[in-house]
Structure 1
Amino acid sequence: MKLITVKRETKEEKRYTPKMGELFTKVTYIKKRFLSIPFKTLHKYRETYYGEVKDCQACRLAR
């Protein structure tokens, strides 16, 4: 049994960008877990309508 694991989760979130406005997008989180309890988010990214992968720092949560 491993004590520390890394797991990837995808969930749909509401985001806001100045150019496109408000949109629902799938955001993927890569989290580090200790005994199946998440304790640190290593990275999060989203996929655009055009298939391009972007970091979530480029957009913020909905107003």
Structure 2
Amino acid sequence: MKFISLHSRGGNYLVVAQNVAWLRAAENGQTQVGMVGSSPLLVSGEIDDVAASILAQANAAV
């Protein structure tokens, strides 16, 4: 199980990379991250930046 860090204006999240289901652009330069079995998270950053961060962290060597 690989945890990734997602940054939010209200705090930071550690989520299981495999549980990320979708991304959707939100207002004010934020992105909604859909989670399997949960409500979406609102994180800081444009959708392209968040996607790149998720991929980089998920593929990083342990």
**TM-score category (smaller protein):** under 0.3
TM-score normalised over the length of structure 2: 0.27
* Structure with higher helix content: 2
* Structure with higher strand content: 1
TM-score normalised over the length of structure 1: 0.26
